Amino acid sequence: MLGAAGGIAGASFVTARLSLSSGTGIYPSALLTAALFGYLTTLTFSLWPIGRAVSVTPADLFRDAVLPATGRPAPGIVEGTALSALLLAWLAVASASDTHFALNFVAGATLAFGLFFACAALLKSLLKRLQKTMAGRLSPELRMAAANLHRPGNVTTGIVLSLGLGLTVLIAISQVEHNFSRLLAEDAVKDAPSFFFLDLQTADAPAFAALVKSFPGARKLLTTPSFRGRIVSVNGVDARKALIDSSKSWVISADRGFTYTDRLPQYSRVIAGEWWGENYKGPPAVSIATDVADAFGIGVGAHLTVNILGMDIDAVVKNVREVDWASFTLNFAVTFAPGVLEDAPHSVIATLIAPDDEQVALQNAVAQKFPGVTVIRVKDMLQTAGVFVSAVAQAIRVSALVTLLAGMLVLAGGIAAARRRHVYDAVILKVLGATRGRILKTFLLEYALLGMMTVFIAAALGALASFAMLHYILNIHWVFSLQSLLAVTGLSLGFTLLAGFFGTWRALRQNPAPYLRNQ
């Protein structure tokens, strides 16, 4: 109900930011999917502890304060937990539009869960060893804080899992957003053209060049022939059947632009094969970007059939290029060698760099003299992209914050569950002469250690996830942002300490006398 209400309330904000048409409403199928996710998640994570709880004997219950009951629940509970987990994974894949992406998500979530579980176990083991080997070097408060994290009945694993997973997502999103913002605000505008000119006719190219060069600040006019067509087959197999990476289906989803050249395009690097160079004489040849190579799983020597102007052209792949698409220069996913397309009818694409104070006048002049030319101002495009990236990042950040909030609620629940232990410890320490300040310091050190370890693990995993997404999926240079990392982790660590303070303050106010009489 809250999710449905939140979707309606946020619709006006999203549609206004992204200039989308409003389709606000209640969608029963989406709510049913969300309900299934909720029930399966609850079932997956509650069956095991409930199965253990119902098998606890009275004797184990009385010994629970010093020796918590361990062991596996009944076989039926184990099988039910495994089945509900598999159903949860199946629902995630079945409800996604991209099966490949959903499978990767399930694998990544499972891996992250396993890593945090293993890290929590490793953390408790290290603290136990540290307490034994450095007992004489540690302060009493720090020694007790470390002991509380691995003693029987500790809540370390639950808190590390709940806080760590949400924090990992939030850190990954903050790093990705920082890199997109840097790309759009800094790197992309250093050498990026000011304008793209599309649909320029070949006969008008000389007059167009003379017009733009009449502006004193205009420079770096680059032109290239442009053809429209589509890839129809790969190595004799229909392109739709040859596609092996569905995330790159854009390669065959519509007509694409093609060109020919004897020079290696700027911001391209040959990673397989060799560039054909000038004065190429030979059979039809193409150079393909890594996206095309990955889409079909091909390389040098493969045959690509492209339909241009109704004619199928079969060409051999001479090289594979890595293209920096963020440079906004003239680059094509498929580029032909000379000798094939020169005589075919085509238009011209051009780019130009112009100072800001001349751009409006230049754009108006081109529109008046060449009304058929489509003018794209890169500055406006970057601003639109920046708004879009910012809005999407905010939406994802809200989702990550909800996940982190759930982890913080688990933290609060863990602190409440540990209140009895804290009261017991505080009473004993007071009887032994400890002051409130030293007891509070002990409890705060406990949560500080727990928070710092969780933050460290989440920071490493979140940064790694953002690097993998940008470098391997989006082919964008990754730059680590310490500022965004400190902002996210500082907030989480501060909340952990604050929750620990309020959770233990009540324990400090406990009067020892009534508690000792009841014991």
* Tens-place pLDDT, residues 108-138: 888 888 888 888 888 888 888 877 777 667 7
Say if residue 108 is in the same domain as residue 237: no
pLDDT > 70 in the chain, percent: 84
Does residue 82 belong to any structural domain of this protein? no
Does residue 227 belong to any structural domain of this protein? yes
* Tens-place pLDDT, residues 162-198: 778 778 888 888 888 788 777 766 555 456 788 889 9
Residue 461 burial (10 A CB sphere; 0-12, 13-18, 19+)? buried
Does residue 293 belong to any structural domain of this protein? yes
Quote the tokens at residue 146.
């470390």
Does residue 24 belong to any structural domain of this protein? no
Say if residue 383 is in the same domain as residue 494: yes
pLDDT > 90 in the chain, percent: 24
Q: How far apart are CA 317 and CA 389, in angstroms?
A: 35
Task: Report whether 346 contacts 212 (CB < 8 A).
Answer: no
Say if residue 187 is in the same domain as residue 236: no
| Domain around 519 | 104-191+378-519
Does residue 231 belong to any structural domain of this protein? yes
Say if residue 226 is in the same domain as residue 330: yes
Does residue 42 belong to any structural domain of this protein? no
Average pLDDT over residues 486-500: 77
Say if residue 389 is in the same domain as residue 518: yes
Task: Report whether 318 contacts 287 (CB < 8 A).
Answer: yes
pLDDT category of residue 515 using cuts at 50, 70 and 90: low
Say if residue 475 is in the same domain as residue 515: yes
Number of compact structural domains in the chain: 2
Say if residue 344 is in the same domain as residue 386: no
* Bridge partner residues of 272 (DSSP): 320
Per-residue pLDDT at 242: 93
Tell me the three state secondary structure of residue 42.
helix
Say if residue 124 is in the same domain as residue 170: yes
Tell me the three state secondary structure of residue 286.
strand
- Asked whether the predicted pLDDT for residue 335 surpasses 90, the reply is yes
pLDDT category of residue 496 using cuts at 50, 70 and 90: confident
Say if residue 224 is in the same domain as residue 348: yes
Quote the tokens at residue 215.
């502006």
Residue whose entry in the numeric block shows the structure tokens 């990955």? 294
Task: Report whether 209 contacts 259 (CB < 8 A).
Answer: no
Say if residue 406 is in the same domain as residue 487: yes
Per-residue pLDDT at 64: 63
Per-residue pLDDT at 140: 80
Quote the tokens at residue 509.
């106010």
CA angle (348, 354, 358) in 5-degree steps: 115
Does residue 516 belong to any structural domain of this protein? yes
Task: Report whether 167 contacts 488 (CB < 8 A).
Answer: yes
